[in-house]
Structure 1
Amino acid sequence: MTAATAEPTTDDQQGYSARHLSVLEGLEAVRKRPGMYIGSTDSRGLAHCLWEIVDNSVDEALAGHCTHISVVMRADGSFEVGDNGRGIPVDIEPKTGLPGVELVMTRLHAGGKFGGVSYTASGGLHGVGASVVNALSARLDVEVDREGHTNAISFKRGLPGVFADEGRPNARFKKSSGVRQIRRVARRTTGTRTRFWPDLQIFLPDATVEQSLVLDRMRQTAFLIPGLTIEVRDERGEETVHETFCFEGGIGEYCTYLAKDAAISDVLRLQGRGRFTETVPVLDGQGHLTPTDVERELEVDIALRWGGGYDTTMRSFVNVIATPKGGTHLRGFERSLARVLNEQLRAARLLKASDDDVIKEDALEGLTAVVTVRLPEPQFEGQTKEILGTSAATRIVGTVVSKELKEIFENPGRGQKPQLRAVLEKVVGAAKTRIAARTQRDNQRRKNALENSALPAKLVDCRATDDRSELFIVEGDSALGTAKLARNSEFQALLPIRGKILNVQKASVADMLKNTECAAIIQVLGAGSGRTFDLDAARYGRAIIMADADVDGSHIRCLLLTLFHRYMRPMLEAGRVFSAVPPLHRIELVRPKRGQDKYIYTYSDAELRRRLVELERKGQSWKEPIQRYKGLGEMDADQLAETTLDPQHRILRRIRIEDAEEASKVFDLLMGSEVAPRRAFITAGASELDTDRIDT
């Protein structure tokens, strides 16, 4: 349809009318849209049909009326499930006039699990499980042992009747209602046997139920209901496979079975219960649905155990029904587990006040846990029951976990104290590993961004790209202006830095990459940093540090060399790092002789005294006072070019590493985080210092 409306034509009106509407009655909706009820029509959906029938028997065991369940996979493709429970009712239901077993198998939302009278906790909740399987079966037979008789009823694609031949889905079928008594049994004998043949009109030809899947599910169920015996027989292969499961240890034994790594702690058991109020629609005497507040009780039983591995194994269940995608009960467990462990870590001083809390993933590392809850009429998200939606479960499970786990840590049993300490240390170790891994990823991401991003705007680049190109790292923006006029733009590039860069000997890689000046130098050189530094990829043949000839300038040179030494050492090893040597003084001659320069530059106080003595001997005078440069910014372009930039006249000091190990020790001594060795070094050398050279 479009936004514009138009009068329908006569043909349109005749083409769509009430006679075109379809009404699906009974089980037709299930056969029309099977995916809505069992998820799919492949092997997964077929397995779900088997679980629906098995779960009805398991519910009898949960209610305390069943001690034995059998599951048989027949060679003809059918499945049979039997139990010694109470048996599905066979008497007449007053409203419909149908036997109970026929009502359960042919009507959606019919069963004994709605009012909370027959079952206080069950897996089947919507009353559609058995009827859905019936609708999707070519044939389904039910036998019920009750009141001294075996009562039988059969169905073909959801319709009740009688087959002319036993055990064949394509035998002649006659529709009829009601159950028939086929034999007498002992009056105390009760139970239900259901056998169904999946309808090949519905399921894919290759749909099958794997033997291992059934064995795992039945073993799991036997763990969850201590004392229940479950037999599984697979007759489909050349040899019949027969397994029997019965476990008295419950989920504690299941937790041990699931764990594959070496144990750090024993299996811890957390048990408790809580009450909540739920508003549900209830049928009143007139048959109307009335919202009613119902008091519910939720039982919590959790087994957990930490091991030395790194994987997490979690199983969660609601009334013995697995919830592989979790839900509100698992959310409450994980939140409370992390909260209690954080409290215990801080109490044990394994976490400092400044440390971040450990997170759920840290607490779950190496954990094997089985989380089970039991409650009447839980709210699931969908018929496949993979996610619990009952909101109160989060609070109740969280409360039980907090109380019980805190009690275990604060009042450990005999031999438990070292185990619990080991658990806390493992959780802290997991947190530190996670933080270190995240830092490494962030550093690599930041480093890649540096190497791949555009060059910084403050770079004054040159035209040459060969080995004669030079990068001057200039101290301060004031010197940059003069250096721009003094440089040779053909092969000399300028990168200004502001003040003193980060002391990378103390700082982490992350802090170094965050520092604007350090990042700019690495980015401009374009060869990477650390282990990934590629000398051949460097954009310049030389790196020249150009700082003032004072104490601050010396400190800046030391900081820059620390950066090169730690993160770009191949530049130093190749002899491609230099320090410019600007003059300290300028002597201006009054009457220079022919061929003599008017200006004489000196680079130290000793050199200045020596030159003045020489001039005095020659009878030459000079202007007073002699100029003393305090910084590169005090020079004009001609002076800077002549003294520091022009290759014909400048002085460069090559920085070499003759002994890399000794150099590392010196850098660590001068720039490292240990203060005491540096103080001792300064104190020991104090007597050798010429106080007249101190720049005050």
Structure 2
Amino acid sequence: MSTSAPAKKYNADAIVALEGLDPVRKRPGMYIGSVGSAGLHHLIWEIVDNSVDEAMNGHASEIVVTLHKDGQSITVSDNGRGIPIDKHPKTKKPALEMVLTILHAGGKFEGQNYKTSGGLHGVGASVVNALSKEMTAVVRRDGAQYKMEFERGVVTSKLKKLKAAVRGTGTSITFAPDPQIFPKTTFDSQVITARLETASFLHRGVKVTFVDEVNKTKQTFLHEQGIVDYLAKVLKDRKARPIHEQPFSHAVDDEIRLEGVLQWTESTDEHLRSYVNGIPTGSGGTHENGFKGAITKAVRNYIDTHSLTPRGVKITHEDIREGIVGIVSVFVADPQFQGQTKDRLNNPEVQALVEGAVRAEMEQWMNSNRSTADGIVARIIAAARARAASRAASAAVSRKGAGKRTMLPGKLSDCLSSGKMESELFIVEGDSAGGTAKQCRDRNYQAILPLRGKVLNTESATLKKILDNREIQDVINSLGCGIGPKTDVSSLRYGRIVLLADADSDGHHITTLLLTFFYRHMPQLIADGRLYIAVPPLYRIDIGKQTYWAKDEIHRQEILEEHGGRAKPEITRFKGLGEMMPKVLWETTLDPAQRTLLRVEVDDQLETDRVISDLMGRDASARFRFIMERAADADVDV
């Protein structure tokens, strides 16, 4: 007989209708993706995008973004027309208040005030207001200044006209993120700088200034050559050497405004960056698919027209686009994005428009530059032959099926669970630590793979050398999803892959080596959110009867400052995971109820590429510069 309380009747009283901006505060992830760093900075992009829309439509020429001294508040100003302040005929509220407090209120729906825009749903500014502990809007129109203030989306100071007369027009929005929503509210200057510089590339002729009061710097970006200048910067940052001097570039403003630029390089990967109305589309979409399709078809037509088809090797689209570094930017009147964060374009008609325009122009460019085109084709044929040569080696590490154990390494202690998503693979540094982890794991869903010694640095290694390395082979075979472009996430044998190394500098080095391997050869696992880093303690601190675990020196000092006054602390520094008792390793690192796992994410592909290249590449001078630039801000364990 059940003794639980009777269930409450499910009737009209149980239905809750969120009003105003409440839906945003209840479910912020629906509007900004997450409340982590990416979501925090997305607030800036929403306001900046509104200013960019003014510039894109010819109403503004300058945007100024100021990060204030506290590092937690931002002002975005432009010299556009200024948000209207007159009262709306239906609501009787100032238009400014409607824009900042009502979802789906804005001037971008009818297509009369904005030909194209990045903010198309009318929710960006109001979402930022809802998620800010305070916001101030100042509008300059008709020779006067108007001010309005808000807290968490609610008006706290009605629209008022300021006494001082002003020249020009424009809008300034100042906001501070709400700590009730965001775990961390401190902005990253480097992230802001990179995004603003990109905006200046995509909107040539628009002056973008970043005033960083935290670091006391001021940067102004103005690029008259637009994405052509952008390509040069991307090539330099990636250290990619082009195989031809002049890039292919194309610009058209017909059914859609389209700009594309690319160069083939000596690199072995393809790197395309795509944008819609100035918004980065990290997951691509129809515009990027059209650009890729145009490249493939134009090159195939050139090869067929000039009888350059090689014997004994099949040229694939991967061979054609290998080594390409390119940028495509389109401006669409009515873009259909996947979600409010606008990460992927879904307009089906855009693909055909982009492909048709770029394909014709590229064919003409190749036929007009025969020596350059022939060099590109020679590079493509070489890529095809190299890919064919490595195909057999790659096939040797293809997944044989989760149910088959013949290919699994002998030192893998697999889990019992047959459910992929519930299972976890811990890749552990050293046999000793692996032995401890095997003793304390939950064998129902936790698998352990110990690695012996330093992992191969795969940044500059050939595919053959990588596949010949026993430790890397064990990782690939344990995961069962293949390697390189053929990586199949659906065949992955585990829901999570967790890197578990010592908490000291050697452990961090091994983690970095493994991250380099996954980033370069299995990036799909990172994109799918499957790769994690465990955070084991470096110190055990006993104060009286209480035990605390510190992950590093800074954390140790914080614990001592907070609890050290009670009794004399006893501090133990672990030499490695293998030194821990199994019970301790379980409680601090493996137990899902108490552990800390860091999910590996890539926010900025270009910056990640550069850092990995600097730290792990063959150029020692780049590594030296990286260390020296940060030496003053870091504790180096020698």
Question: TM-score range, shorter-chain basis?
Answer: 0.5 to 0.7
SS in 2 for 1:64: coil
CA RMSD between the two structures: 2.2
Determine the C-alpha separation between the residues in 1 that align with 2:221 and 2:397.
52
Residues 178, 185 of structure 2: 8 Å contact kept: no
- 8 A contact 1:145–1:185 mirrored in 2: no
- Of residues 51, 54, 63 in structure 1, which corresponds to 2:57? 63
2:134 counterpart (107, 120, 139): 139
CA contact (8 A) 2:298 2:360 kept: no
Rounded Cα–Cα distance in structure 2 between residues aligned with 1:196 and 1:261: 39
Which amino acid letter does the alignment assign opposite residue 206 of structure 2?
Answer: L
TM superposition shift of 1:218: 0.6
**How much does 1:361 deviate?**
1.9
Distance 1:446 1:26 in 2: 51
User: Do structure 1's residue 271 and structure 2's residue 228 form an aligned pair?
Assistant: no
Give the TM-score of the pair, scaled to structure 1: 0.54
In 2, are the aligned partners of 1:350 and 1:428 still within 8 Å (CA)?
no
CA positional deviation for 1:84 = 0.5
Q: Are 1:108 and 2:108 counterparts?
A: no
Unaligned runs of 5+ in 2: 401-405, 408-638
Is residue 2:334 matched to residue 1:399?
Answer: no
Deviation at 1:353, TM superposition (A): 7.3
Q: 1:85/1:262 Cα in 2 relative to 1: closer, same or farther (>3 Å)? A: same
Distance 1:339 1:359 in 2: 11
> What corresponds to 1:360 in structure 2?
317
Contact 2:48 2:76 in 1 (8 A): yes
2: distance between equivalents of 1:443 and 1:81?
Answer: 54
| Cα distance in 2 between the residues matched to 1:20 and 1:161 | 31
Picking from 374, 384, 390, the partner of 2:347 is: 390
2:337 alignment counterpart: 380
- Distance across 1 between alignment mates of 2:317 and 2:216: 45
In the alignment, the residues of structure 1 paired with residue 19 and residue 399 of structure 2 have an alpha-carbon distance, to the nearest angstrom, of: 63
Q: 2:206 aligns with which of 199, 215, 228?
A: 228
Which residue is equivalent to 1:491?
none
Residue equivalent to 2:281: 323
- Give the match's secondary structure for 1:150: strand
Structure 2 vs 1, CA of residues 138 and 396 (structure 1 numbering), >3 Å: closer, same or farther?
A: same
Match of 1:351 in 2: 309
Kindly report which structure 2 residues correspond to 1:331-480, keeping only aligned pairs within 5 A, or say none: 331-352=289-310, 355-356=313-314, 358-410=315-367, 412=368, 416-442=369-395
Question: Cα offset for 1:18?
Answer: 2.2
The residue identity in structure 2 corresponding to 1:331 is N
Question: Whole-Å Cα distance in 2 between the matches of residues 359 and 95 of structure 1?
Answer: 59
Match of 1:99 among 94, 98, 105: 94
**1:263-292, Cα deviation, whole Å (9 max, x unpaired):** 222111123355xxxxxxxxxxxxxxxxxx
Given residue 376 of structure 2, which amino acid in structure 1 is its aligned partner? V
Partner letter of residue 394 of structure 1? Q
Q: Distance in 2 between matches of 1:23 and 1:444?
A: 53
- 1:27-42, aligned counterparts within 5 Å? 27-42=21-36
1:194 aligned to which of 167, 173, 181: 173
Match of 1:472 in 2: none
Residues 430-476 of structure 1: CA deviation (Å, up to 9, x unaligned): 111111110333478799xxxx89xxxxxxxxxxxxxxxxxxxxxxx
Structure 2 CA distance for aligned equivalents of residues 140 and 442 of structure 1: 57
Deviations 1:362-398 (A, max 9, x none): 2222211110111112000000000001110111011
- The one-letter code matched in structure 2 to 1:80 is T
Partner Cα distance (2:126, 2:362) in 1? 43
Say whether residues 1:125 and 2:125 are aligned partners.
no
Aligned match of 2:76: 81
Residue pairs, 1:532-681, within 5 angstroms: none
Q: Is the 8 A contact 2:54 2:81 kept in 1?
A: yes
**8 Å contact kept, 1:350–1:425:** no
Post-superposition CA distance 1:55-99 (Å, at most 9, x none): 000111101111111111112311110011110001111111111
Q: Which runs of 4+ in 1 moved over 6 A?
A: 443-447
Q: How much identity, in percent, do the aligned residues show? A: 38
Select the structure of larger CA radius of gyration.
1
For 2:372 and 2:346, how far apart are their aligned partners in 1?
A: 35
Secondary structure of 1:253's counterpart equals: helix
- Residues 46-55 or 401-410, more deviating: 401-410
Query: 1:183 aligns to what?
Result: 163
**Partners of 1:328 and 1:446 in 2: how far apart?**
31
Q: How much does 1:313 deviate?
A: 2.4
Tell me by how many angstroms 1:11 deviates: 5.5
Query: CA separation in 1, counterparts of 2:48 and 2:289?
Result: 28
Q: What's the offset of the Cα at 1:161?
A: 2.1
From 194, 200, 206, the equivalent of 1:216 is 194
* TM-fit CA distance, 1:186: 4.0
Corresponding residue for residue 264 of structure 2: 306
**Native 8 Å contact 1:273 1:400 kept in 2:** no
Q: Give CA-to-partner distance per residue, 1:80-127, whole Å, 9 cap, x none.
A: 100111100011111111111101001000001111111111100110
Shift of 1:207: 4.1
| TM-score, normalised by the number of residues in structure 2 | 0.59
- Alpha-carbon distance in structure 2 between the residues aligned to 1:445 and 1:25: 52
SS for the counterpart of 1:184 is: coil
Runs of at least 5 residues in structure 1 that lack an aligned partner in the other structure:
1-8, 163-176, 275-296, 454-696
